[in-house]
Amino acid sequence: MTSVTSLFASVDTDLCLLTENLKNLVGARHPILYAAAEYLFGAGGKRIRPAIVLLISRATMLDQDITPRHRRLAEITEMIHTASLVHDDVVDEAEVRRSVPTVNSLFNNRVAVLAGDFLFGQSAWYLANLGNLEVVKLLSEVIKDMAEGEIQQGLSRFDTTITIETYLEKTYNKTASLIANSAKAAGLLSGVPIEFAEKLYNYGRHIGLAFQIVDDILDFTASTEVLGKPAGSDLVSGNLTAPVLYALEEKPYLEVLIEREFAQPEDLEQALALVKESQGIERSRKLAAYHAQLATENLTDLKPSECSKALVDMAEYVLSRMY
């Protein structure tokens, strides 16, 4: 099994620098923000998004060093991601993430809304000041998609009529759009041709989908300890993911439990059991594997290098998490 550490070895120094920069960029203005930044960009985050940006940057620059713009793009990517996490936790009323209290529970909703807006605001500004209109368009598309995904998820809670296609669309908006567009942007900053950049987009899109599907599976199969948040929390909050949507095809009673929002005692336990008894988990694993496979097929234009190998291995690593 591939570990994240070995996967990211070739951009390890870059990632350390990124974390320091993010703490300074965000925390410089106010002590409370500094505390939030220390906490948000400190231990716990896997930094998968900036790692992919940095790996693609290095894999496309080859012998040349990556530019300050590549680094800034990686930072922006992580800032946008973190901003969305902070607001998601307000929306979901989540109390724990990565085994630490969320900003809304540690401080309050007020500070969490402020901190998220601040991060979005800072990223929009750093983005514009990258000075590349094409990259600005790609990343602003992400900000739009993430907000749309947040709406799609937030306003269709406990809705058992949503399809796997709708789920994938929402998952693209919430998770894969950021990875896809920033992967493409990293390529553009290296000056790759547009067809090559499109493949990098598709790599990001499929690895992002695979990644999120695996996360959604783990919400059913992993322990609270491993997850760093209560297991089954998607289901509790009415966020119906691939395993549930597949399970609904086999277990009609699941619909009853979900639609009454687990109002009766034992409803949640029963629902979790029904998902586990069904083919839902297995079918979701196949779906994740399918997207991980599609991801790697888009890397054929990359010249062999340590970084391009890490991008291929990433697909394997994503899947390895689900067993």
What residue ranges bind a second copy (CB under 8 A)?
29-30, 32-33, 87, 90-91, 93, 109-111, 113-114, 116-118, 120-122, 124-125, 127-129, 131, 133, 136-137, 140-141, 143-148, 150-152, 154-155
* Tokens read off for 110: 């007020």
What is the rounded distance in angstroms from the CA atom of residue 224 to the CA atom of residue 71? 34
Distance, in Å, from the CA atom of 149 to the CA atom of 94, rounded to the nearest integer, reads 18
Buried b (16+ CB within 10 A) or exposed e, 197-216: bebbbbbbbbbbbbbbbbbb
Smaller CB distance to a second copy: residue 138 or 302? 138
Long-range contacts of 132-138 (CB under 8 A, 24+ apart): 132/69, 132/188, 132/189, 134/185, 134/188, 135/73, 135/185, 135/188, 135/189, 138/181, 138/182, 138/184, 138/185, 138/188
Smallest distance from the beta carbon of 160 to a second copy, in angstroms?
18
Cβ proximity of 187 and 202 under 8 Å: no
CB 204 to a second copy: min, Å:
18
Minimum Å gap between C-beta 155 and a second copy is 5
